[in-house]
Amino acid sequence: MIRFDHVTKRFPDGTVAVDDLSLEAASGKITVLVGPSGCGKTTSLRMINRMIEPSAGTIWLDDRDTAGFSASDLRRGMGYVIQHAGLFPHRTIVDNVATVPLLLGTSKAQARSRAMELLERVGLDASVAKRYPAQLSGGQQQRVGVARALAADPPVMLMDEPFSAVDPVVRAQLQDEFLRLQHDLGKTIVLVTHDIDEAVKLGDRIAVLRTGGHLAQFAAPTELLTRPADDFVAGFVGRDRGYRALGFEAAGDLDPQREPTVVVGSDRAAAASVALDSWVLVVTEHDEPMGWLAIVPGATGQVEPTLLNRGGTRVSVSGSFRDALDAALSSPSGRGVVIDEDSRLVGTVTAGEVVRRIEAQLGDRRATAQIAAVG
């Protein structure tokens, strides 16, 4: 647990970067600090490992005042990942990762074998170990940065825009892997980003900071999207927040309807005969949905994969309302494809049905909230 207790940072030129910040980053959770530039998010992060000293207030690490540690000891107990990874260009990848264990006095052999494990853990091939950072792509370097931060198995990880410097595809991939890693490791993580979508995706709790270092709201992602504390937060969280909030609502039992299908390679005339309307769902022989076939009267020949419209997204039975609605809206037939954990077809669901269920679920919650408010 990391607790900011009325922390203020005033720089020598008089700028107040962080103003009376109090918040608690829970153990084993990801706490995200998000806000526009100049909101003091990076300053706040750096005060945790005392790369910047607070002007007033206390930062607690569990029940110890961080000011009571030697700065080096404090830092060696906290992993740190930054935007461009900040790898040491003059050391090989394995030696970069082994840095903190070596600083802590671990033997070279042990530190290296630990480093090799971590490289594997972050999805890097052992062959990169002997290379230098300049030989790696941005995404690979960022993985090394994460491995290096984890090397001494610190309970705390501080991450400053860790995924901002890579392209969107790699970013999404790194984010997903990061969440998987965190699921296994359960570190106490404080992550800084300017990207609200990243905050919503990664954060267990999100602190929205406004310019001048004020805490505007500290809440779970859903709450931030559904009940922004003020206009600033509402504006920062952005458009589509009603729709985006659905991403955090498990759709539960969507009660998918049975959908007639044809197996790829069947006769087109046969496909036309089973179709409910002008579209029929084509599946593989293992009942995995492939795409929609438009029924053309009198068409002959086989159902070739090239004939299929693959526009529709799919929703897993464990998916969110957002996924379900998107599947229905993106489907050419208007029927969203629901699949099970093994990618097999369960059935289809229409946008109307999804919305009806959203209404029902949110309606219940509104009623509860009203009772709470009145009570």
Partner 1 sequence: MSTAGSPLLAGLEQRAQLAAPPGLGRQVLSAPLAGLEQRAQLAAPPGQWDFVGYFRSHTSDVMSLLGQHVWLAVIPVVLGLIIALPVGYVARRFSWTYPPLVSIAGLLYTIPSIALFVLAPGILGTQILDPVNVLFPLTIYTVALLVRVVADGLASVPTDVLQSATAMGYGSFARLIRVELPIAVPVISTGLRVAAVSNVGLVTVATAIGTAQLGQLFSTGLQMSSFRSYYAPIVLGIVLCLLLALVLDGAIVVGTRLLTPWRRVVRPS
Q: Which residues bind partner 1 (CB under 8 A)?
A: 49, 51, 71-76, 78, 80, 82-92, 99-100, 103, 131-132, 134-137, 145, 148, 158
Cβ closest to partner 1, residue 133 vs residue 319: 133
Cβ closest to partner 1, residue 73 vs residue 253: 73
Cβ closest to partner 1, residue 87 vs residue 215: 87
Cβ closest to partner 1, residue 104 vs residue 367: 104
CB 204 within 8 A of CB 23: no
CB of 75 to partner 1, least distance (A): 4
Query: What phi, psi does 201 have (nearest 5°)?
Result: -70, -40
Cβ closest to partner 1, residue 101 vs residue 289: 101
CB of 326 to partner 1, least distance (A): 36
CB of 11 to partner 1, least distance (A): 16
Task: Give the count of alpha carbons within 13 A of 298, CB side only.
Answer: 0
Q: Which residues pair with 4 in a beta bridge?
A: 23, 59
CB of 76 to partner 1, least distance (A): 4
CB of 139 to partner 1, least distance (A): 11
CB of 103 to partner 1, least distance (A): 6
For the chain, where are the E strands, in sequence order?
Answer: 2-10, 16-25, 30-34, 56-61, 64-65, 78-82, 156-160, 188-193, 205-210, 214-219, 261-263, 279-283, 289-294, 314-316, 335-339, 345-350
CB 46 within 8 A of CB 64: no
CB of 135 to partner 1, least distance (A): 5
Cβ closest to partner 1, residue 100 vs residue 206: 100
Measure the CA–CA gap between 256 and 320, rounded to whole angstroms: 14
Cβ closest to partner 1, residue 138 vs residue 212: 138
One-character DSSP codes across 20-71: EEEEEE-TTSEEEEE-STTSSHHHHHHHHTTSS--SEEEEEETTEEGGGS-H
CB 40 within 8 A of CB 208: no
CB of 15 to partner 1, least distance (A): 19
Nearest to 82 by CA among 5, 1, 168, 158: 158
Cβ closest to partner 1, residue 26 vs residue 71: 71
CB of 231 to partner 1, least distance (A): 35
Report CA 45 to chain centroid distance, whole Å: 19
Cβ closest to partner 1, residue 191 vs residue 254: 191
196-203 contacts at long range (C-beta below 8 A, 24 or more positions apart): 196/34, 196/236, 196/237, 196/238, 198/32, 198/163, 198/171, 199/32, 199/34, 200/224, 200/225, 200/244, 200/247, 201/175, 202/30, 202/32, 202/175, 202/178, 203/30, 203/31, 203/32, 203/34
Measure the CA–CA gap between 40 and 46, rounded to whole angstroms: 10
CB 102 within 8 A of CB 76: no
Query: What phi, psi does 59 have (nearest 5°)?
Result: -115, 125
Cβ closest to partner 1, residue 17 vs residue 339: 17
The token pair that represents 264 in the structure block = 């790829």
CB of 158 to partner 1, least distance (A): 7
